[in-house]
Amino acid sequence: MTTVTSSEFDRGIALAPDGSTGGHRGELGAGWQIGGGVNGGLLLAVAANAIRQELPEHPDPVSITGHYQATSHPGPVTARAEVIRRGRSLSTATATLSQPDEQGRPVEKLRVLASFTDLAGLAGEVRTSAQPPALPPREQCVGMEHAPRELIAQAALLERFELRLDPATVGWAVGAPSMNGRIQGWFRLADGREPDPLSLLLVADALPPVTYDLGLPGWAPTVELTVQLRAEPAPGWLRVSHATRNLAGGYFEEDCEIWDEAGRLVAQSRQLARVPRG
Amino acid sequence: MTTVTSSEFDRGIALAPDGSTGGHRGELGAGWQIGGGVNGGLLLAVAANAIRQELPEHPDPVSITGHYQATSHPGPVTARAEVIRRGRSLSTATATLSQPDEQGRPVEKLRVLASFTDLAGLAGEVRTSAQPPALPPREQCVGMEHAPRELIAQAALLERFELRLDPATVGWAVGAPSMNGRIQGWFRLADGREPDPLSLLLVADALPPVTYDLGLPGWAPTVELTVQLRAEPAPGWLRVSHATRNLAGGYFEEDCEIWDEAGRLVAQSRQLARVPRG
């Protein structure tokens, strides 16, 4: 069994109290880089972890939004969380991640606003008309060992994942994007760490940018990412789909759904990102 | 032509500098109530208007998120906006709306986090695979004069709108919800005020809760609402669709699309709301 301290993800989001500021200190690992910066989903999970420290009664984000202000780099990070309101079933909080510039002055990289709850305490009926992505069995899917070399070179991140993409959505890897604006596949963390609410924040931003499938390769910087967590994920593989339907004015939305092995839609997210310059 | 001062919406979101606090003062009008509170879309537009005062170079939200903490009531409101980062093409800001309690102490009602830009300055190609909702002509749609009396009684808001709903999505009004989780129709402001980026924030939360179409009438309090504005709307009628695909654990998501008369997808939004108690 994987314990908290032995998983790459848990080490990646770990925070320690920072006595001098009243905030938390962490370290962004080089292994979470993509396209020259640290992955936005990992950063959102770090910020959520800072909020969680302040909200033991409501440990899980039910809706969390991050606005990304500057590229984050491997190295020290400071997280500050502030609870805005403590409620009976929901609490609202904000958090910031900052990193020092070359002169040691703090630069804000991410601002987060979120409502937290206790997902394990949610009861009530489930009515889902949404359908999980139709994926071939994992052994018929494409591992990242087949990804374009320039993608892998820019994405140490991908080594943290076991990602098996639907062959119908990886034509871009051989110069033949489907132009449908969809990438989907099977996901789990490479070290076997099981999914939980915080790791789903990472998963929501884990696949290659969906613009690859529109024939627009390159890094697509996230402006804003909102993740809504709808249930605690069951252990096992996740099914993840990314889709876009509107690219305009230099921006596109990327809608993500995450389904767990029990067949539950456990997270829905949308990000607004900049179209890669190509 | 409708001028700023003559439209109900512009009066509804009007703010004046509050010398004593450095913030802004406004007045939430009784005409924007629904279900015992002031409409969440109107509140989001008030907060966006406060941010706009601080960002003349970036007057339009491109992505804006609000977390609703307590019911807002008609009467005085205080708005405070803070610019987090001024960028070349995007700026990030936060805002709060507060109202005094019975003892005159401020109670925070809404916290907002947003990225602003100048939508008129966005160029670049448009690739939209999304399709506008298929709506019958307006004369074949259903005006709110046919809405259930208990809905109208709780929604002074609806008098501010000219709303013509697709007959296929209003079965709930006669006790026969389609159970598809979709409500869609034509929208414009009743006084003829043309759409603009701030009024789209209202439109994103203007239709009756989509849970009506699931046979779950009643007020559905918004936990969080995110609106992404993708283009400046053309003058004229808007086509608006609300849909939900996952109701679970007492919450549901409501996805909204707004299309303008020129056929552009001008806004996409998602809110997380509580399932009505019924």
Q: How far is A127 from chain B (nearest CA, A)?
A: 5
With 80 as the cut, is the pLDDT of residue B178 above it?
yes
- Which of the residues in chain A have pLDDT under 50? 1-3
Task: Return the pLDDT at B278.
Answer: 62
**CA within 13 Å, CB half, B232:** 12
Here the tokens at position A278 are 């190509």
With CB atoms and an 8 Å threshold, state whether B84 touches A69. yes
Mean pLDDT to the nearest integer, B147-152: 72
Task: Return the pLDDT at A3.
Answer: 44
Q: Tell me how far apart the alpha carbons of residues A5 and A14 are, in angstroms, rounded to a whole number.
A: 9
Average pLDDT along chain A? 93
Task: Return the pLDDT at B125.
Answer: 85
Mean pLDDT to the nearest integer, B51-76: 97
Task: Return the pLDDT at A28.
Answer: 97
Q: Tell me how far apart the alpha carbons of residues A158 and A154 are, in angstroms, rounded to a whole number.
A: 9
ipTM: 0.95
Determine the 3-state secondary structure of A34 from DSSP.
Answer: strand
Closest Cβ–Cβ partner in A87, A108, A124 for B84: A108
Q: Please, what are the domains in chain A?
A: 4-118 (2.40.160.210), 138-274 (2.40.160.210)
Mean pLDDT to the nearest integer, B165-174: 93
Closest Cβ–Cβ partner in A108, A245, A253 for B228: A253
* β-pair type (A161-165, A182-189): antiparallel
- For residue B44, the surrounding DSSP H or E stretch is helix B40-54
Residue B69, C-beta contacts closer than 8 angstroms, at least 6 positions apart? A84, A85, A87, A92, B108, B109, B110, B111
Chain A with chain B: Cβ pairs closer than 8 A: 171
With CB atoms and an 8 Å threshold, state whether A115 touches B223. yes
pLDDT digits (tens, 9 = 90+) for B249-270: 999 999 999 999 999 999 999 9
Here the tokens at position B40 are 């969440």
CA angle A232, A235, A238 (to 5 degrees): 85
CA angle B155, B156, B162 (to 5 degrees): 95
Average pLDDT along chain B? 93
pLDDT digits (tens, 9 = 90+) for B42-51: 999 999 999 9
Q: Are B35 and B219 in contact (CB under 8 A)?
A: yes
With CB atoms and an 8 Å threshold, state whether B113 touches A114. no
Pick from A7, A11, A6, A25: nearest CA to A98 = A25
Closest Cβ–Cβ partner in A124, A249, A272 for B250: A124
Return the residue of B nearest to A125 by Cα: B248
Task: Return the pLDDT at A5.
Answer: 63
Task: Return the pLDDT at A21.
Answer: 79
Pick from B22, B56, B41: nearest CA to B110 = B41
**Chain B residues near residue A270 by CB distance under 8 angstroms:** 226, 228, 268, 270
Q: Tell me how far apart the alpha carbons of residues B96 and B90 are, in angstroms, rounded to a whole number.
A: 20
Length of chain A: 278
Place of tokens 């609806």: B158
Mean pLDDT to the nearest integer, B55-73: 97
**Chain B residues near residue A210 by CB distance under 8 angstroms:** none
- For residue B153, the surrounding DSSP H or E stretch is helix B149-153
With 60 as the cut, is the pLDDT of residue B2 above it?
no
Task: Return the pLDDT at B5.
Answer: 63
pLDDT digits (tens, 9 = 90+) for B107-142: 999 999 999 999 999 887 899 999 999 999 999 999
Task: Return the pLDDT at A278.
Answer: 62
Task: Return the pLDDT at A1.
Answer: 38
pLDDT digits (tens, 9 = 90+) for B12-22: 999 999 988 78
Q: Are B103 and B109 in contact (CB under 8 A)?
A: no
Q: How far is A49 from chain B (nearest CA, A)?
A: 19
Pick from A118, A55, A47: nearest CA to A92 = A55
Q: Tell me how far apart the alpha carbons of residues A66 and A110 are, in angstroms, rounded to a whole number.
A: 6
Task: Return the pLDDT at A197.
Answer: 98
Determine the 3-state secondary structure of B37 from DSSP.
Answer: strand
With 70 as the cut, is the pLDDT of residue B1 above it?
no
In order of A124, B45, B65, B270, the CA distances from A118 in angstroms are 14, 30, 22, 22
Determine the 3-state secondary structure of B16 from DSSP.
Answer: strand
